A and B are shown apart, each in its own frame.
Chain A
């Protein structure tokens, strides 16, 4: 079994806005193995989010090859990419990105809807994971009734409910106070200890310190 889950080869990404083209990423080579905890560190505008979108199959690179869990991702249709995301990636965003009109349980169960899991089983799995994250008292709340730290934990529960290989987090503590931030960092450590790949993207060197491996990015290039 191949332990390299994420394999980026000569990845480049060029944004085209009208006649102006902007090279956000160039010549990125990166391999991430099973069980790794990687922080991608770089200043604002360096291309971190762009890289995260490519790793998370939210967008496709302009050049280069990306292999996820042994499968070439380039050339997949948008629906095929959606399935790949659903299977392999759990996203955690800076602004939590919960669905405001859904309850906590329904938010967490949402990725399972797209997997075709039935209603009862979805609720069961969602409640189980929420309980593990200490959110048993908030099943039926709406997301805007929760604190930032709680919302981010709901988002992490949603990322974990499909039991994905990779947790991909873009500035997960960016909107949190230091205490809630520390809780999230703890959670990531635990998840990594359980064998998940954790990739956090940040401009915060303190947060990056928690990762076992730091990849620095400047002007769209890996610099270390």
Chain B
């Protein structure tokens, strides 16, 4: 039970790690009130200057413009409508994007020379190419311009990305190329990497004020920017999974409780049956401690045997679960839950089992220690 929960959580943790954790995405918003000649509802538009100012701030390691657009990608007579992100080369590292062998993500040279290159998502590749075809090196057309496919993102389970869409559906071109071709008047979003998560609230605050200053907006108007911070999202999802694990844990706990009561009952019966033997042991000099430890030990042994059987059954169960093929978009997004018996779970289970066995044995053992040897021996 716990193993399944732990598996889901670990799986999610790795999935989330795939999204890159020290990343802050900043999107422009609108002014909420009139301020020094700017009227409310005025749209903020990022400029190159904003990028420079942000880069200069403390706790910031990089800031890069990002543009997003939806358009048609054509390869001979095949085409697909897809979302494109125009990004800097660092994007790959931040988002832990990986391409196949002998392929590349947008390189520094691609970026500098504003090359017409595209990295396509694994889903895009599936739509344009047959499985046996190698997309890399082929030319696909974006808005009638020939782009060389330099890489296909490797399939990875990822639940959250800056575009709000799993990376498998995204395609990437250099932002410099995009700027050259489209001469955009505004930057869609700014991807910022930072050093220290603890300083993030302050950093956000400073960014907010300085951008407002750049554009003559009210420095206290928080609605001009919206931040989305992967670390925070990750925390939320992690909480959800911890919650789920607690739920599974409670079910497991109830099972243990029932098992504990069962063991206690059996122990009570065996104590009642052994009253005369307990009397004999006491006549021979056994103290309460001897009797109590004997019955607790017996209970622990019973629990250990039960625990080992349970553990073996769990292993079989986990093994069978892994055999079940789980396909489809849902699992592509959340990742296939592979139950694992982690060391932590195992330790918890052993400790909990030990406590259960101890408590289940304790009360019958205390009852055994109360046996009056004289009475126990009279009723021979």
Is the CB–CB distance between A58 and B287 below 8 Å?
no
Known contacts A58-B283, A82-B285: A95-B290 contact under CB 8 Å: no
Q: In the complex, which residues of chain A have a beta carbon less than 8 angstroms from the beta carbon of B286? A: 82, 113-114
A67 at interface (Cβ–Cβ under 8 A)? no
Name A's B-contacting residues (CB within 8 A). 49, 53, 56, 58-59, 78-79, 82-83, 85-87, 91, 93-95, 97, 99, 110-111, 113-115, 158, 162
Instruction: Identify 28 residue pairs between A and B in the complex whose beta-carbon atoms are under 8 Å apart, listed by A's number.
Output: A53-B374, A53-B377, A58-B373, A58-B374, A59-B372, A59-B374, A79-B287, A79-B289, A82-B286, A82-B287, A83-B287, A85-B282, A85-B285, A86-B284, A86-B285, A87-B285, A91-B283, A91-B284, A94-B380, A97-B283, A97-B377, A99-B280, A110-B284, A111-B285, A113-B290, A114-B284, A114-B286, A158-B284
Is the CB–CB distance between A99 and B377 below 8 Å?
no
For chain B, the count of residues having a C-beta within 8 Å of the partner chain is 19
Over the window 361-380 of chain B, the binary record of Cβ atoms lying under 8 Å from chain A Cβ atoms (1 yes, 0 no) is 00000000000111001101
Over the window 65-82 of chain B, the binary record of Cβ atoms lying under 8 Å from chain A Cβ atoms (1 yes, 0 no) is 000000000000000000
B61 at interface (Cβ–Cβ under 8 A)? no
Identify whether the interface residues of B are mostly helix, strand, loop, or mixed: helix
B202 at interface (Cβ–Cβ under 8 A)? no
CB distance from A106 to the nearest CB of B (A): 12
CB distance from A17 to the nearest CB of B (A): 12
B277 at interface (Cβ–Cβ under 8 A)? yes
Is the CB–CB distance between A95 and B282 below 8 Å?
no
Known contacts A94-B380, A97-B280: A114-B285 contact under CB 8 Å: yes
Residue with the highest number of chain A CB atoms closer than 10 Å, among B277, B285, B286, B287: B285
Residue of B nearest to A175 (CB): B380
**Sample of 9 more A-B contacts, CB < 8 Å, known A83-B285, A85-B284, A87-B285:** A59-B373, A86-B285, A93-B377, A94-B380, A99-B277, A110-B284, A111-B285, A114-B284, A162-B285
B281 at interface (Cβ–Cβ under 8 A)? yes
Known contacts A59-B372, A94-B380: A79-B284 contact under CB 8 Å: no
Q: Which of B277, B287, B380 contacts A95 (CB 8 A)?
A: B380
Is the CB–CB distance between A115 and B280 below 8 Å?
no
Known contacts A93-B377, A93-B380, A97-B276: A56-B289 contact under CB 8 Å: no
Residue of A nearest to B369 (CB): A78
Q: In the complex, which residues of chain A have a beta carbon less than 8 angstroms from the beta carbon of B290? A: 113-114
Residue with the highest number of chain B CB atoms closer than 10 Å, among A58, A95, A158: A58
Q: In the complex, which residues of chain A have a beta carbon less than 8 angstroms from the beta carbon of B277? A: 99
Is the CB–CB distance between B378 and A49 below 8 Å?
yes
Q: In the complex, which residues of chain B have a beta carbon less than 8 angstroms from the beta carbon of A59? A: 372-374
B288 at interface (Cβ–Cβ under 8 A)? yes
Q: In the complex, which residues of chain B have a beta carbon less than 8 angstroms from the beta carbon of A114? A: 281, 284-287, 290
Q: In the complex, which residues of chain B have a beta carbon less than 8 angstroms from the beta carbon of A93? A: 377, 380
Is the CB–CB distance between A85 and B287 below 8 Å?
no
